[in-house]
Amino acid sequence: MPELPEVETVKRGLAPSMEGAQIEAVDVNRPDLRWPFPKQMAARLAGQTVLRLRRRSKYILADLSSGESLLVHLGMSGRMTVSGDPLGQFVHEHPQLEKHDHVVFWMAGGARIAFNDPRRFGAMDLLPTETAQEHPLLAKLGPEPLGNDFSEAYLAQALSGRRTPMKTALLDQRIIAGLGNIYVCEVLHKTGISPLRQAGKVSAARLAKVVPAVREVLEAAIAAGGSSLKDFKQASGELGYFQHQFQVYDRAGGACRTAGCEGVVARIVQAGRSTYYCPVCQR
């Protein structure tokens, strides 16, 4: 599933074609994805101007001139691909639509944005912009890891007394919004913290390394266009490249890349998910 860097990459890729532009028409080619689409979605979107694109956790929100916001979740295999010329200066033919292009946005100026989702675990909804934070998918999310509310003091308080493993705690969206399996593995390796250690027993000195490590890993991943392991593509259709920088994720049996460490990357399963770490330098 796309995590924060992938969703942020898609949002930034959509911005030139969508922000400040009018949605001329929308083709909705099936009644649902993971859940049914909102009633009259195409009619409610057509003619509206996209005032702003923003991201909350793993969701993209498009604030519209109607006072509603379109919420988009990419799910396991969803992607949004732009074709055409967003500025309307040249004539570009769009590629032929694909079988799983379930929702297609036609923008003023000539850009086309296709939402493709072979597994149909993605979702879209329309909600009042003013109360968007109260939507069931957003209401209980923790702070954004790249925002000011995510701090050493906050994290220490949030993890205090928790007996759950550190890996599980960092994956809890109520604690930190947007972190997923790939980047938690990378953060824990960067900080030398075992994914098995109880979250409430990580020392203050070691916990102080987590916040900057989270930011460094996420920012590096965004700069690389995210990680493309299976289905993920940027809005341009290009792959992300951060998978080439993985230190532990999907590297079971490989040598640990920490300087001076002679450990071998191990894979274990925690809460049904693969965890990759170095048993030698992560304690």
Residues carrying an active site annotation: 2-3, 58, 273
Contact 166, 198 (CB under 8 A): yes
Contact 169, 193 (CB under 8 A): no
Contact 81, 125 (CB under 8 A): no
Phi, psi of 106 (to 5 degrees): -105, 115
> Helix, strand or coil for residue 102?
strand
Q: 133 exposed, middle or buried (CB, 10 Å; 0-12, 13-18, 19+)? A: exposed
Q: How many CB atoms lie within 10 A of CB 169?
A: 22
Contact 4, 184 (CB under 8 A): no
Q: 280 exposed, middle or buried (CB, 10 Å; 0-12, 13-18, 19+)? A: middle
Q: Which residues contact 248 (CB under 8 A, 6 or more apart)?
A: 185, 186, 189, 256, 257, 265, 276, 277, 278
The letter for the amino acid at 154 is: Y
Strand order, beta sheet including 50-56: 50-56, 59-64, 68-73, 123-128
- Using alpha carbons, select from 94, 87, 40, 92 the residue that is nearest to residue 68: 40
